[in-house]
Amino acid sequence: MQFSVGEFLPVAEGVLVAVAEPAAVNIGLVVGPSGCLVIDTGSSPEQGALIRERAEQAAGVPVLAAVVTHWHHDHFFGLAGFADLPGYAHESVAEWLGHAECRRDATEVGVDPNALVAPSHPFSLARVIDVGGRRVEIVHFGRGHTDGDVVAFVPDAGVIFTGDLLESAGPPAFGADCHLKEWPSAVDGVLGLVAEETVLVPGHGPAMDRLAAFTQRAEISGLYGQVEYLVARGVNREDAYEQGEWPFDEQTVRAVLPLAYAQLADEGKVPRTQLPLV
């Protein structure tokens, strides 16, 4: 697999973003007076080490800590490149490290699962990080894209790194480990921090503004709401695509329908055949 790290480019005063390939994941860099913070760490320990090196070149001050927005490989596997520094992530990320799914993902991207490291500073709700004299707030607003999404807010710059709770490169990634019903509330937490000029850096794709974030929140909520409506009307999964009105493209919707039906079934909501009255 071809790994590379693009140039760190500014999105606000002392806040930069680089794109790490092959996953096209946004890597954040917050530069304080005497140190800097990296947000998301790339897809492998080697890529993490390279990101750290590039971040220090761009910032001109040492990296003091790293934040992982969630356990997915392109955000988390590079943390091993920061192993001697504080690594912040939601407490669930360390648990994922032991899951077969995480180890399989590692093998798939050519990373030795045993080379991965757990975050040294797990937290459940929120933390403030002193980035060499600059304040960064990291917050978990509840389950959404995964069970442990964390956003990083730079108050003095009006920048929020949202991880994959929001995406601008394409539709949000509705993986098997996402929580469709709760996702919009997690985005509401992010939106609560957003002002007119706030820059939202999603997990993948260019920066987003407030309107784009509101729109995507409505789309995610609309998707779940539509499935809920179809289930209540007795529509089976196989017929759902044709009978629904969807905020995302056909491929995305068809891929997420089995998951949406399964998550509704977990709540006891299953399509019931409506027998004719006579």
Query: Closer CB to Zn ion, residue 72 or residue 140?
Result: 72
Burial of 222 (0-12, 13-18, 19+ CB in 10 A): middle
The secondary structure of the chain in percent helix, strand, coil, rounded to multiples of 5, reads 35, 20, 40
Query: Closer CB to Zn ion, residue 23 or residue 31?
Result: 23
Q: Least separation, in Å, of the C-beta of 175 and Zn ion?
A: 7
Query: Closer CB to Zn ion, residue 52 or residue 72?
Result: 72
Q: Least separation, in Å, of the C-beta of 252 and Zn ion?
A: 15
**Binding stretches for Zn ion (CB under 5 A):** 72, 164
Beta bridge partners of 199: 159
Q: Least separation, in Å, of the C-beta of 203 and Zn ion?
A: 6
Q: Least separation, in Å, of the C-beta of 72 and Zn ion?
A: 4
Q: How many helices (H) and strands (E) does the chain have?
A: 8, 13
Q: Least separation, in Å, of the C-beta of 164 and Zn ion?
A: 4
Query: Closer CB to Zn ion, residue 146 or residue 237?
Result: 146
Q: Where are the beta strands (DSSP E) in the chain?
A: 4-5, 9-12, 15-21, 25-31, 36-39, 63-67, 87-90, 121-123, 126-130, 135-139, 151-154, 159-163, 199-202
Q: What is the DSSP letter of 77?
A: G
- Find, among 92, 79, 98, 195, the residue nearest to 145 by Cα: 92
Query: Closer CB to Zn ion, residue 136 or residue 178?
Result: 178
Tell me whether strands 63-67 and 36-39 are parallel, antiparallel or unpaired. Answer: parallel
